[in-house]
Amino acid sequence: MSIALNGLPQPEHAAKYYDHYIKLAATHINLLECLEENKEEFSRNLLSIPNDKANYAYAEGKWTIKEVYLHIIDTERIFQGRAHRLGRNDNTPLAGFDENSYTPFSFSETRSLESINEEWIAVRNSTIQLFKNFQIQNLDFIGSANGNQLTARSAGWIMVGHAKHHLKVVEEKYL
């Protein structure tokens, strides 16, 4: 376990908007432990969904369950890329993204829950490998993403909290 991965980010190292995600993620002191635990939680929850509910949306204009899970994966990929660039001290301002424009191109209706889970495991394992090899110098370089300060450490905690947030939404509003 990397000592460098102990501890939450400084509040000013991410937009205020992300405070909720970081608080949700803080179940352990070590980011790697949280990433691993969250990987298992995601898979358990996803694979427990009955197939007949997988394309269900709780209201008109809301994402289906599969779209929510694919949104988590899309966001993980983006924040992983941000963490990688920030971890390499890239001071290029990083652009934001429009999550709603991604959804129609996920083609969720053609995907099985098992294939979504396989993709999740691959993406999260890649995130874990990235963070496993970071040193303290990689974690706390302050860059910019979507016009706000961000560090790789913050991006890691946000990824966990973002997944937890949406898992809770699925549980409360969809199932």
Q: What is the pLDDT of residues 111-147, one digit of tens each?
A: 999 999 999 999 999 999 999 999 988 999 999 999 9
60 Cβ neighbours under 8 A, 6+ residues apart: none
Q: In residues, how long is the chain? A: 175
pLDDT at position 63, please?
97
- Give dist(CA 94, CA 173) in Å, integer: 33
Task: Give me the residue spans of the domains in the chain.
Answer: 32-174
Q: 24: which 2 tokens?
A: 């949700």
Helix (H) or strand (E) holding 149: strand 148-150
Q: What is the pLDDT of residues 13-62, one digit of tens each?
A: 999 999 999 999 988 889 999 999 999 999 999 999 999 999 999 999 99
Residue 106, classed as helix, strand or coil, is: helix
Instruction: For residue 1, name the pLDDT band (cuts at 50, 70, 90).
Output: low
Do residues 13 and 150 touch, judged by C-beta distance below 8 A?
yes
Residue 30 burial (CB count, 10 A): 15
Residue 143, classed as helix, strand or coil, is: strand
SS3 string of 9-76? CCHHHCCHHHHHHHHHHCCCCEHHHHHHHHHHHHHHHHHCCCHHHCCCCCCCCCCCHHHHHHHHHHHH
Q: Has domain 32-174 been given CATH number 1.20.120.450?
A: yes
pLDDT at position 5, please?
82
